Amino acid sequence: MGAEMALQIIDRRLAGKNKSVGNRERFVRRYKTQIADAVRRAVAKRDIRHIEQAENITIPRKDIQEPIFHHGQGGVRDTVHPGNTEHVRGDRIARPQGGAGGGGGSQASDSGEGEDDFTFTLTKEEFMELFFEDLALPRLLRTHIASTLQYKTRRAGYSHDGTPHNLAVLRTMRGALGRRIALTKAPNRELKELQDALADLLAQDDGTSEAVAELQQRIAGLQARMGKVAFLDPLDLRFRSRTKVPEPSSQAVMFCVMDVSGSMDQSRKDLAKRFFILLYLFLTRHYEKIEIVFIRHHTQAAEVGEDEFFHSTESGGTVVSSALVLLDQVIRARYPAADWNIYVAQASDGDNFGDDGGNCRNLLAEKILPLARYFAYVQVAPDEQSLWQEYSQLLPLFPHFAMRKVAEPGDIYPVFRDLFKKEGVTV
């Protein structure tokens, strides 16, 4: 009666193609480094429109081989040991003639089997998780806003009242078992004594005496009383209780500023769109509450929606300062720096009208960079343009300002990872 039963649940559900979910998760965890490297190689070859699809990942078989015990080589082998009289440290020893030795040589053979790389399919969710695993918004701060408190639900033990889906079955059954043991312990002891006494009387007479009848009546009454002890009583019910506690909120906004002027030909616009699509996927998958503001500009700037930002076609001259002026107005009107983590990502070919580059530099230095947590500028052209030269003067003054160049699609992913890597992570 004092022994306790241990409940062990084994999940034997099967995933697609009869593969165990648990085994797959262990495999991904064990070879995470090799799989992450394979994901990065796959991204460089993948079209941006198919970035969220599943992927067949190939890992060299040598990277997943396990150590094994095997029989050593037989026969006579010549080995050079320390302290020999024929060689000293630094001597070069010739290779064995005729392909002899333990290496097996590199000659062709008509027997045996080759080893292929190990290939398996990552699901869409697994691929994207590994794709953005070690990225984060730089310098993200938690800001406490009294008017928009956020609450997080935490466990608060057990209670006697609750809804059926919060019923703690194991705790309830444990309480019911304890109650039944407590209520029936004394009657069980008394029942055993009466049964032993009845057995002794039956051994002495034929069972027709009044004493036997009395004992049988008492045993029947005691068993009936014990049978009335409920298997489960409302007092046994235990429900998981949860409570809401306030927590600091991380409010962040990302401004995506893209140049769509005439100097941005189709290839350069495609590079800019690729960068912003990666940024959009990263933000929406990793941050539950983040606002994204899209701004397009040529000679004039406009705040647009997501679909227009990525698909609309425009052309014209280039006045980059128009976008920065609009950016400053939106920040001060809707996103006060005291309450919001402000991020800006700008993509342009760097070509600008006249001396507007100086205006852009002043706008950043005096109005935008003092409010922003991080500003990333990506030039989608290999040569240094006027805007790059103006922005370069800000690098020594603002450590949270970053500049990178992108010349071809293969540069997008490395530059993106470099701009948004977690602090302390090397890329």
Residues 183 and 305 in one domain: no
The sign one gets for the Cα dihedral 134, 136, 138, 141 is: negative
Residues 236 and 256 in one domain: no
| pLDDT score recorded for residue 157 | 85
In a domain, 105, yes or no: no
In a domain, 304, yes or no: yes
| pLDDT score recorded for residue 1 | 44
In a domain, 378, yes or no: yes
Which pTM was predicted?
0.53
pLDDT, tens only, 361-395: 999 999 999 999 999 999 988 887 888 989 999 99
Q: Looking at the predicted structure, is the pLDDT value of residue 132 above 70?
A: no
| pLDDT score recorded for residue 147 | 40
* pLDDT interval class at 333 (50, 70, 90): very high
In a domain, 84, yes or no: no
In a domain, 231, yes or no: yes
Q: Looking at the predicted structure, is the pLDDT value of residue 403 above 50?
A: yes
| pLDDT score recorded for residue 22 | 56
Write out the residue range of the structural domain in which residue 372 sits. Answer: 252-419
Residues 411 and 285 in one domain: yes
Segment 388-409 mean pLDDT: 90
Residues 180 and 126 in one domain: no
In a domain, 86, yes or no: no
Q: Looking at the predicted structure, is the pLDDT value of residue 324 above 90?
A: yes
In a domain, 29, yes or no: yes
Pick the last residue of a domain from 176, 209, 241.
241
Residues 266 and 290 in one domain: yes
Residues 196 and 339 in one domain: no
In a domain, 355, yes or no: yes
Percent of the chain with pLDDT over 70: 66
Residues 317 and 398 in one domain: yes
Residues 309 and 399 in one domain: yes
Q: Looking at the predicted structure, is the pLDDT value of residue 27 above 80?
A: no
Instruction: Give the pair of three-digit tokens for residue 220.
Output: 């029947």
| pLDDT score recorded for residue 113 | 45
CA distance 85 to 64: 41
Interaxial angle between packed helices 266-286 and 412-419, expressed in degrees from 0 to 180 and rounded to the nearest 10: 40
Among the residue ranges 210-214, 220-224, 244-248, the one predicted with the least confidence is 244-248
Q: Looking at the predicted structure, is the pLDDT value of residue 49 above 90?
A: no
Q: CB within 8 A of 249, min separation 6: which ones?
A: 142, 143, 144, 145, 148, 149, 150, 289
Q: What is the mean pLDDT of the chain?
A: 76
Residues 212 and 285 in one domain: no
Q: How many domains does the chain have?
A: 3
Neighbours of 34 (CB within 10 A): 16
